[in-house]
Amino acid sequence: MKDKSYKLDQSAAPLLNAMSEYRKSRVVPFDVPGHKQGRGTPELTGFLGKQCLSVDVNSMKPLDNLSHPTSVIKEAEALAADAFGADDAFLIIGGTTAAVQAMIFSVCKRGDSIILPRNVHKSAINALILCGIIPIYVDPGIHPELGISLGMCADGVEAAIAAHPEAKAVFLNNPTYYGICTDVGRIARAAHRAGMALLADEAHGAHFYFGRGLPPAAMEAGADMSAVSMHKTGGSLTQSSLLLMRRGRVSPDYVRTIINLTQTTSASYLLMVSLDIARRALAMKGGETFARVTELAEYARGEINKIGGYYAFSREIIDGRHIFDFDVTKLSVNTLKTGLAGIEVYDLLRDDYGIQAEFGDMGNMLAIVSVGDDRYAIERLVASLSEIKRLHGRDGLKLLDHEYITPVVRMTPQEAFYAESEPVDVGETVGKISAEFVMCYPPGIPILAPGEEVTEEALDYILYAKEKGCLVMGPQDMELKKLYTVKRGE
């Protein structure tokens, strides 16, 4: 762990203990779920295991209720808040999407505006659609050689705050998918001076709270709320997350009310107990764990750079502005000098070498190195990349030179999404206003969002991404032959 002390006994795992007692009690279930501890679904039980199905349970008095926690879930949330240095923490079982949207809904209402980078995850823009919030975009900047979008420059955010004093909050990504970090502390101070809240999407930053030598975590840097994907780098089950908050600008009781607007009343205890277990492991051994993760990532980076053609970038790209810091656990690799697009390397790793990387885009691929990796896995990745270059490499490519498309906003996301729209051949959409999202997934950052004009730049990128094999998501037409645009006169 980072050099910090805890107020609570972090060796405790109240939800885990309660579920273990439930398993031993041999309760006869006449409640949901209907599989009745796996007895009614032998095929599912055989696949997932009896141990798993026996604790796939519904809320009951001994196990508390996520919508209104009073006992073991409440204790688990208090331990999470203590471990992460927050005043309050909420177990989220709808993924960090739910946590991001709860943050925004907690500080903004219909007609309010929020300052945010355009390279946000679609969950943030979806929140604007649902709540009728007005976006004020800050250009995150583009790295001229790597072609990746960067972090919000503090100077740019301060200028946006001065130009839009009516905004209720500033929202930022820290780190980005590629490991780029923003000056959260300076932006938090600027937001607070203007009476705004600072919200952080830390989907890829759970390890910041425990690893030594890593960029500062958002709660430590002064954020009011943070959404943390425990499942990404913290070791919990997929779809489990935490919403952290510091009191003062918003009430925890109100945040709970907001969460309960959309969160299921049948919360998964498998997801919740995984958060309890992962939190304990990070609090007790996080420092040791992430020291090993950092060493593995740095070793991999060095070995990949020895191959030639690939560029596994790190702290050397820090410029103090758009790149305030860098997460060295992110194994981000530029592939262009091998003559291969990032998505091509991504596909070859999976199809020919049995290696599933996190994602590939036009010029880069990302491999997540975290708590479950070892030296053998790293050696296999490095060897595979070397072989891919030998077999498939060619003269370096000159691809589209940017990953970020400057948006031309014509309508608010909510206005465009609910406006009358019509399908248009995608090649004929330039100049029209998109009524839907278009994005490559992962990472889920929109190329177009509802309310934005379809520019030639955006269309070129969309068609190129499709040609190169990126999974292009968002449009109703899953083959992306047509795109819904706002009808004229709207």
- CATH topology for 287-392 is Aspartate Aminotransferase, domain 1 (3.90.1150)
Which pLDDT value is given to residue 55? 95
Q: What per-residue confidence (pLDDT) applies to 404?
A: 60
User: Which tens digits make up the pLDDT trace of 1-46?
Assistant: 455 789 999 999 999 999 999 999 988 999 999 999 999 999 999 9
Q: How far from chain centre, in Å, is Cα 467?
A: 26
pTM of the model: 0.92
Quote the distance between the C-alpha of residue 234 and its chain's center.
13
Q: Which residue has the higher pLDDT, 167 or 470?
A: 167
Q: Which pLDDT score, from 0 to 100, does residue 490 have?
A: 46
How far is 373 from 279, CA to CA, in rounded Å? 18
pLDDT, one tens digit per residue, over 324-383 is 999 999 999 999 999 998 999 999 999 999 999 998 988 899 999 998 999 999 999 999
Question: Measured in Å, how far apart are the chain's first and last C-alpha atoms?
Answer: 55
Helix (H) or strand (E) holding 135: strand 134-138
| More reliable by pLDDT, 141 or 313 | 313
Contact 440, 471 (CB under 8 A): yes
> What pLDDT is stored for residue 398 in this prediction?
63
Q: Residue 346: what are its φ and ψ, rounded to 5°?
A: -55, -45
Q: Locate the domains of the chain by residue range.
A: 14-283, 287-392, 413-486
- pLDDT tens digits for range 394-442: 887 665 555 567 789 999 999 999 999 999 999 999 999 999 999 876 6
Q: Which CATH number is correct for 413-486, 3.90.105.10, 3.20.20.100, 2.40.50.100, 3.40.50.2020?
A: 3.90.105.10
For the CA atoms of 117, 120, 126, 128, the dihedral, rounded to the nearest 10 degrees, stands at -10
Nearest Cα to 328, choosing from 300, 349, 359, 354? 300
Give the mean model confidence (pLDDT) for residues 245-265. 95
b/e code 193-212 from CB counts within 10 Å (16+ = b): ebebbbbbbbbbbbbbbbbe
CATH topology of domain 14-283: Aspartate Aminotransferase; domain 2 (3.40.640)
Task: Quote the CA–CA distance of 24 and 317 in Å, as a whole number.
Answer: 54
Phi and psi of 434, rounded to 5°?
-70, 140
